[in-house]
Amino acid sequence: MTFETYQELLNQINHHMDLYYNQDQTEISDYEYDQLMQQLKAAEAKHPDWVRPDSPSQKIGGTAKREAGVKVEHNVPMLSIEDVFDFQSVTDWVNKVQELHPDAIFSVEQKIDGLSMSLRYRGGRLELAETRGDGHVGEDVTQNARAIPQVLTELPITDPYLELRGEVYMTRDKFEAYNTRQEKEGKPLAANPRNLAAGTLRQLDPKITAERGLNLFLFNVQDGEPDFMRSQLYNLDRLSAMGLPVTYHKRAEDAGEVIAAIEEIGGLRGQLAYDIDGAVVKIDQIAYRKDFPAGTKYSAGHIAYKYPPEEKVVEMDRILVDVGRTGKLTFTGQFHDAKTGEPARLCGTSVSRATLHNQDYIRQMKIGIGGHYKLFKSGEIIPKLNGCVKEPEAVFEPPRLCPVCGEELEQEEGTADIRCVNPSCPAQLSRTIGYFAGRSCMDIAGLGQTLIDALCEEKIMGTRTSYLTSYVDIYRLKDHREELISRGILGKEKNTDKILAAIEASKSQSPARLLAGLGIRNVGLSTAAALMAVYPDLMGLMDVRSEELQKIPDIGERTAADIVHFFAHEDKRQMMADFKELGLTMKMPKEEKTRALAGLTIVVTGTLPNLGRSEAKDLIEKNGGKCTGSVSGKTDYLLAGEAAGSKLDKAKSLGIPVIDEEGLRALIEEK
Ligand SMILES: [Zn+2]
């Protein structure tokens, strides 16, 4: 993933979060949303330097935000547990503990994959239930907690204060039942039991919590009388004797017993009614824990062993062929667990589909109906096939005709991609329009994919001309205002007018966005901006020859050919004329046009006589140039001052012209 696609992904997620949290709307399913988040997290794991504190990955589940909830400051912080991934680390830790405290023993417990909740009892009566939130401030969920059968509102003790911590979870059966119901009602599905449990515990209406069905295991005494502050195993026994459900646990006296307990718990994983995501090892003697601190985020005297990714063997049932926005065919394998006949269970989620990438992948992996394949989750995120175990009778052959429009497909030269090149293919139309109207292009607020699908739909049904048969039609929707309102396609009058106003407002978007929205292959927003910097009039750009286009940085032969090819179509030229007629901005504003350094990439190094480093950068950018940090084949000039080091050497070795401050000023004046 490039930084640019990462940023597009960020924008997309922020947009959906805003819709969900602030406008109480959704354009995509929970599943699709989770997929986006997972892509984001995967990218951030690979490029930690990209992550900013305002990234959605840093907010989700991390902050105690929810307008509806009442916030509660925890008496005792609800910390996480530090993860370890191999037995050696567990053994080392246990040995270290016993070196200092030879009599230390351990409680090895299932780590339930749910969400944490604390219960405060005063005089044996339940006073407050709170979610974990960010570890220090959570949310009051007392009403909903009462709807969980295992939460006792009265304990058979009269201790002045007792605070317990446990894990709220949903069983797989209840999770599947929920999704089946949702599917029947055409509503979005929950991604996994943990997410659903979290959403259920935070419902505003406790009746819904009760209906869906949550469960609880207790695993810790947070605070209480001295008798409760000595031994973990004793506490669990006592809670159990009071009728409270406690987490499955084993007593272990040394490293060998700890490992054996972890293995036993791991072996039970598949057979439990709920999901676990590890085993927790705790020092039984609570007083000893403080000698093994683990930083401010983690509980002292605890470690969590994470089981390696599960692998399952699946049997291929179907291969689904879909047509993407650019006409590219995508293949998705649908399968079941070869052993159980059910969807495969992996890392707490049900998996019955995985992407098959392209034709090459399908051939290499020998994908076909009836074949058996290993399935695992990479980084516990995206399900992937991992080798063929039993070959199918026949390897899948991709279709020759587009599954949506029936037109002949084209195999793209030099790649494994197959495309539908029919520009009016309905599958692509709705999605191309969605992209055009989306965040990274015309950014028309409120006009999401679902509405666009609805506006395009009737064309697919073939009963009537649809409201949208091209991008231009978006700007003609206002002519159908009355009809749209009476049919409720964009909602009621208020929402319809809101969207129509957003459409009008989008006319003044930068022509670079308009250009990017056209869906010309390889022309995303940054390439479009580079093009517009040199050819500030979109109408003029239509007639630029391929050789000229290739002089622009980032534009190769192939992209140039795609651009020329696109504008060679008479209907595309008509579309551009229509845009102009409808009042869309076709020219870059004047100041942009006269930028002297447009299209030039300049690297600054050394100490300049008058300009500071950031002043030089500002000057370059103000004049339309691009400032980058390192010298490469794409660098046009190196601006070098006193004491220029390795960058100067590199520029020389690459034959890149070196200029000084005066040279830069001359460059700006000259043009
Ligand atoms: Zn098609």
Model pLDDT, residue 458: 57
DSSP state of 140: B
Nearest to 639 by CA among 622, 654, 665, 624: 665
Q: Where does the pLDDT of residue 380 fall: very low under 50, low under 70, confident under 90, or very high at 90 and above?
A: very low
Q: How far is the CA of 404 from the centre of ligand 1 (A)?
A: 5
Q: How far is the CA of 193 from the centre of ligand 1 (A)?
A: 37
Q: How far is the CA of 409 from the centre of ligand 1 (A)?
A: 8
Q: Where does the pLDDT of residue 663 fall: very low under 50, low under 70, confident under 90, or very high at 90 and above?
A: confident
Measured in whole angstroms, the distance separating CA 634 from the mean position of its chain's CA atoms is 31
Model pLDDT, residue 383: 80
Quote the percentage of the chain above a pLDDT of 70.
91
Q: How far is the CA of 324 from the centre of ligand 1 (A)?
A: 9
Model confidence at 370: pLDDT above 90: yes
Q: Is 318 or 461 the better-scoring residue by pLDDT?
A: 318
Q: Is 25 or 645 the better-scoring residue by pLDDT?
A: 645
Q: How far is the CA of 37 from the centre of ligand 1 (A)?
A: 30
DSSP string, 498-534: HHHHHHHHGGGS-HHHHHHHT--TT--HHHHHHHHHH
Query: Highest mean pLDDT range out of 304-318, 530-544, 593-607, 613-627?
Result: 530-544
Residue labelled with tokens 């020092």: 283
Q: What are phi and psi of 604, to 5 degrees?
A: -105, 135
Q: How far apart are the first and last CA of the chain?
A: 36
Beta-ladder partners of 642: 607
Model pLDDT, residue 431: 79
Q: How far is the CA of 546 from the centre of ligand 1 (A)?
A: 28
Residue 15 CB neighbour total at 10 angstroms:
17
Q: Where does the pLDDT of residue 378 fall: very low under 50, low under 70, confident under 90, or very high at 90 and above?
A: low
SS (H, E, C) 2-52: CHHHHHHHHHHHHHHHHHHHHCCCCCCCHHHHHHHHHHHHHHHHHCHHHCC
Q: How far is the CA of 8 from the centre of ligand 1 (A)?
A: 26
Helix, coil or strand: residue 12: helix
Q: How far is the CA of 581 from the centre of ligand 1 (A)?
A: 30
Task: Choose the weakest-confidence range: 262-276, 451-465, 501-515.
Answer: 451-465
Model pLDDT, residue 345: 82
Rounded-to-integer distance, Cα 152 and Cα 120, Å: 11
Two tokens, residue 473: 């039609």
The per-residue pLDDT for range 396-415, each reduced to its tens digit, is: 999 999 988 888 898 877 77
Q: How many CA atoms lie within 13 A of 78 on its CB side?
A: 28
Residues 6+ apart with CB under 8 A from 654: 631, 632, 633, 635
Rounded-to-integer distance, Cα 647 and Cα 655, Å: 12
Residue 239 CB neighbour total at 10 angstroms:
22
H/E segment holding residue 118: strand 115-122
Residue labelled with tokens 């405060």: 120
Q: Where does the pLDDT of residue 586 fall: very low under 50, low under 70, confident under 90, or very high at 90 and above?
A: very high
Q: How far is the CA of 478 from the centre of ligand 1 (A)?
A: 29
Alpha-carbon torsion angle 574, 577, 579, 584, nearest 10: 160
- Would you say the C-alpha torsion 56, 58, 61, 64 has a positive or negative sign? negative
Q: How far is the CA of 435 from the centre of ligand 1 (A)?
A: 17
Two tokens, residue 273: 């009614």
H/E segment holding residue 122: strand 115-122
Residue 55 CB neighbour total at 10 angstroms:
17
Model pLDDT, residue 22: 52
The per-residue pLDDT for range 514-535, each reduced to its tens digit, is: 999 998 878 888 889 889 989 9
Q: How far is the CA of 456 from the centre of ligand 1 (A)?
A: 15
Q: What amino acid occupies position 286?
A: I
Residues 6+ apart with CB under 8 A from 565: none
Rounded-to-integer distance, Cα 148 and Cα 210, Å: 7
Rounded-to-integer distance, Cα 301 and Cα 282, Å: 6
Q: How far is the CA of 398 from the centre of ligand 1 (A)?
A: 14
Q: How far is the CA of 471 from the centre of ligand 1 (A)?
A: 17
Q: How far is the CA of 401 from the centre of ligand 1 (A)?
A: 8
Q: How far is the CA of 473 from the centre of ligand 1 (A)?
A: 20
Two tokens, residue 240: 């159990």
The per-residue pLDDT for range 40-96, each reduced to its tens digit, is: 888 888 888 888 777 777 654 333 333 356 888 888 889 888 888 899 999 999 999
Rounded-to-integer distance, Cα 15 and Cα 315, Å: 38
Helical axes 87-100 vs 255-268, angle rounded to 10°: 140
Query: Highest mean pLDDT range out of 50-64, 459-473, 610-624?
Result: 610-624
Q: How far is the CA of 464 from the centre of ligand 1 (A)?
A: 19
Helix, coil or strand: residue 117: strand
Q: How far is the CA of 397 from the centre of ligand 1 (A)?
A: 18
Residue 504 CB neighbour total at 10 angstroms:
14
Q: How far is the CA of 325 from the centre of ligand 1 (A)?
A: 10
DSSP state of 587: B
Two tokens, residue 66: 């929810």
Beta-ladder partners of 313: 374
Rounded-to-integer distance, Cα 27 and Cα 29, Å: 7
Residue 337 and residue 115 in contact, taking contact as beta carbons nearer than 8 Å: no
Rounded-to-integer distance, Cα 88 and Cα 523, Å: 51
- Burial readout 619-643 (b: 16 or more C-beta within 10 A, e: otherwise): bbeebbbbbeeebeeebbbbbbbee
Q: How far is the CA of 424 from the centre of ligand 1 (A)?
A: 8
Q: How many CA atoms lie within 13 A of 444 on its CB side?
A: 28
**Mean pLDDT, the chain, integer:** 86
The phi-psi region of residue 117 (left if phi > 0; otherwise alpha if psi is between -120 and 50; otherwise beta) is beta
The phi-psi region of residue 462 (left if phi > 0; otherwise alpha if psi is between -120 and 50; otherwise beta) is left
Q: Where does the pLDDT of residue 670 fall: very low under 50, low under 70, confident under 90, or very high at 90 and above?
A: low
Query: Highest mean pLDDT range out of 14-23, 124-133, 597-606, 646-655?
Result: 124-133
Residues with a catalytic annotation lie at 111
By CB atoms closer than 10 A (0-12, 13-18, 19+), residue 563 is buried
Rounded-to-integer distance, Cα 459 and Cα 466, Å: 5
Residue 421 and residue 408 in contact, taking contact as beta carbons nearer than 8 Å: no
Q: How far is the CA of 426 from the centre of ligand 1 (A)?
A: 7
Rounded-to-integer distance, Cα 197 and Cα 168, Å: 7
Helix, coil or strand: residue 373: strand
Model confidence at 372: pLDDT above 90: yes
Q: What amino acid occupies position 16?
A: H
Quote the percentage of the chain above a pLDDT of 90.
42
Pairing status of strand 215-223 against strand 106-112: unpaired
Q: How far is the CA of 328 from the centre of ligand 1 (A)?
A: 9
By CB atoms closer than 10 A (0-12, 13-18, 19+), residue 515 is buried
Distances in whole angstroms, Cα of residue 189 to Cα of each of 134, 175, 384, 512, 560: 26, 10, 21, 37, 43
Task: Choose the weakest-confidence range: 94-108, 372-386, 445-459, 554-568.
Answer: 372-386
Rounded-to-integer distance, Cα 302 and Cα 311, Å: 28
Q: How much is the pTM?
A: 0.47
